[in-house]
Amino acid sequence: MSLTNAAELAIGQGLFNGTSFAIGSLQLGLLTAASESAHTEVTTGVYSTYARQTITGSEASSVWTVKNSSDANAAIEFPALASGDTGVTATHWGLFDASNNLYVYGEITGNLVLTAGQVPTVAANSLTVTFN
């Protein structure tokens, strides 16, 4: 799990400059690659029904448990792949805001091979954001 520069800047401004930091809603996305400098999100060309899954308000508190680390404690389902979709392998997950800023990303253990007809699901307790 890694924080992006955007997340580090927002947290730093909140801690040291008194700037408020509230994303509002988080969107969980599936990525085919991720690093500090770039990420590649799953595209609708190979997964026509793909959409990030939004986590807001009271739903966020039921999905995330926050302590020294934050765990996604509820399953999150993405739309089923259409029968004509060629499929793709998701290697990472990412948390975005509504303005497409990526704040946190991490590896999907064992990757997630997406094929036609499948309903991609991120299992409860399978995403953890750790703060050291």
- HEC secondary structure over the chain: CEECHHHHHHHHHHHHHCCCCCCCEEEEEEEEEECCCCEEECCCCCCCCCCCEEEEHHHHHHHEEECCEEEECCCEECCCCCCCCCCEEEEEEEEECCCCCEEEEEEEEEEEEECCCCCCEECCCCCEEECC
User: Does residue 100 surpass a pLDDT of 80?
Assistant: yes
What pLDDT score was predicted for residue 57?
53
- The pLDDT, as a whole number, for residue 62 is 54
Rounded distance between C-alpha atoms, residue 105 and residue 122, angstroms: 14
Q: 0.75 exceeded by the pTM?
A: yes
Q: What is the pLDDT of residue 44?
A: 85
Higher confidence at residue 82 or residue 72? 82
